[in-house]
Amino acid sequence: MGWNSANRIFDPVAKALQKANADDDTKRTVLGVLIRELQEGDWDTEDESLEDFLNDPAIVSAFADRNVHLYDRRCCARELGVGPREALLLMRREETSEDQMAQAVEAYAHHLAATIRAHRDEVRGSTKLPTQVVDWCADLIEPHPASTS
């Protein structure tokens, strides 16, 4: 098939599923099969379709299931059910540049700071000791810490 012709097949199907308000599991399953079949026909521009559907986590996940990612891994943060920490871990690949990792780390740090700030009223005016406040913040960042023993 080659070039861009598969995009003319994939894009209308994905848009039709969105228009029909298909649930996430249906979109991920149907489009996953379609992506696989188009790849077997030498679809070489699937990243272009992925970029067109970055606003739909189920479609992004269908691409990820078939190992299709954007060069900068922006898609990873948009996968269905993927939080900032998981997105960062998904970027741990050889082809990910230092700049891309730095951007992901900065985004994760921003997420952590926003999470702490969103809960600051829980600490304001409390009788907690400073060490308890630090532990409280650490628990927000890592709710289930690994055993240190």
Q: Would residue 148 count as lying in a domain? A: no
Rg of the chain in Å (alpha carbons): 20
Q: Would residue 149 count as lying in a domain? A: no
Q: Would residue 69 count as lying in a domain? A: yes
Count the domains in the chain.
1
Tokens describing residue 76: 């990873």
Quick one: 75 exposed, middle or buried, by C-beta within 10 A (0-12, 13-18, 19+)?
buried
Rounded Cα distance, 146 and 91, in Å:
22
Least reliable range by pLDDT among 59-68, 72-81, 126-135? 72-81
Q: Would residue 147 count as lying in a domain? A: no
Rounded Cα distance, 130 and 91, in Å:
35
**pTM recorded for the entire structure:** 0.58
- pLDDT tens sequence across 76-100: 766 666 666 776 776 676 766 777 6
Q: What's the domain range around 119? A: 7-141
Residue 110 CB: number of other CB atoms within 10 A?
11
